[in-house]
Amino acid sequence: MTKKFFGTDGIRGTVGKYPITPDVFLKLGWAIGQVFAKEGKGVVLLGKDTRISGYMFESALEAGLSAAGVDTRLLGPMPTPGIAYLTRTLRAKAGIVISASHNPYYDNGIKFFSTEGTKLPDDLEHQIESYLDKPMTTVDSEKLGKAQRLADAAGRYIEFCKASIASGVDFNGLRIVVDCANGATYHIAPHVFTEVGAEVVTIAAEPNGININENCGATQPEQLKAAVIEYRADLGIALDGDGDRLIMVDHKGEVVDGDELIFIIAKARLAADELQGPVIGTLMTNLGMEHALKKLDVKLIRANVGDRYVMELMKKHNSGIGGEGSGHIICLDKTTTGDGIVAALQVLAEVKRSGKTLHALKSEMSKYPQVLLNVRIEKKIDIAKSEVIQTAVKLAEKILADKGRVLLRASGTEPLIRVMVEGVDEAEVTKQANLLVDAVKKAI
């Protein structure tokens, strides 16, 4: 069955445009309550990032859950992985995150975690959607759900993050810059890294409701690069608005992306004889990472793009580390979902253990030139059935032969067609990427 609302990572869109409206979220809260009320008593956790519309949607969801007779625990601003952790440890029926992740403040969305702290299975998402087509009802007054604020949510998650590395690991002597993207980690990440001994310079940690991800964070690390150089830091850490992405910057001001960070963590696990199974990447994972892992006799398996698909293959192959070049990094041997702070701690631990700089660690993997271009679309297009696009793809693949890759896909979170070309010859890669973009524009 095709889902009407849910994409690869919950529901997301522009605030005020269907379905990202208060009335839909009210009905959605009720629908969620109907699904989980069947399973008996229990609470649902509700958290958000720092965008201004979070207050509105939090109230709407809370009202809908109450109407269904479900109790709510309000977490306030909390990173997405923190909500996953608390859902699991508090044995909640579900965790709800109000966030549009790395998107601008005028977008928002909703995603869910199961009682195990993992993304909801498809069947539960289908059940929730089925209730959206039914008339909303309200339980008798004595059965209405109650809402309470969980006062120590941030402290619980801070301790969990610190526990993801061995207690004897100390980061004294490391100076790091932490970019919180004016998002949900603003009151958490600086404490975590300070309490494990690092000297921390914090930037983009003053959210005002509309500056989340604005010229900062994992998707725009220019401010972080400048700060690392200015403060002569050993490295920089950039999180996104909801804290599930990580991009780092080395002491030279060079970006270290998700593929490079996954390689560093995997190699460290291998050296410590703690690497579980293969490494799971995606169709977008750089070919250089695959070749570097192969030299270590470590297998890379590619999933479809999206952290839920990475997670599926990680569970299938009993993998401990996986993720995406965008910075979604899942340390399944430490937690149940992508977590920027936890992943950063694993990298810092290897910097400290090895005595090498982050620049030296990332240099042990050579990336192939990769060009990623986006084409905005007004309506969906079937890439596989477009003769213009498929002819251009076949020609590009013929020219690149076995020295490159081509991938076109529709974004699961934005109205975009993503065009990726990768190969050893950067000029040829750029040329073919632009030709493919022209073909997509012609098709639409």
Q: Which residues are catalytic?
A: 101
Specify the 3-state DSSP secondary structure of 58.
helix
CA distance 432 to 396: 6
Residue 11 φ then ψ, to 5°: -120, 135
Specify the 3-state DSSP secondary structure of 120.
coil
The label of the residue with tokens 């008798």 reads 140
- Residues constituting the chain: 444
* CB contact at 8 A, 286 and 404: no
Give the strands of the sheet with 279-282, arranged side by side: 300-303, 279-282, 321-323, 329-331
**Partner residues linked to 328 by β-bridges:** 245
User: Going by DSSP bridges, is the β-strand pair 255-256/71-77 parallel, antiparallel, or unpaired?
Assistant: unpaired
Helices of type H across 250-404: 258-271, 287-295, 307-316, 340-354, 358-362, 387-400
* CB contact at 8 A, 248 and 262: no
Q: Give, rounded to a whole angstrom, the gap between the first and last alpha carbons of the chain.
A: 27
User: Going by DSSP bridges, is the β-strand pair 246-250/255-256 parallel, antiparallel, or unpaired?
Assistant: antiparallel
* CB contact at 8 A, 280 and 291: no
DSSP labels, 211-259: -TTTT-STT-THHHHHHHHHTT-SEEEEE-TTS-BEEEEETTS-EE-HH
Burial of 442 (0-12, 13-18, 19+ CB in 10 A): exposed
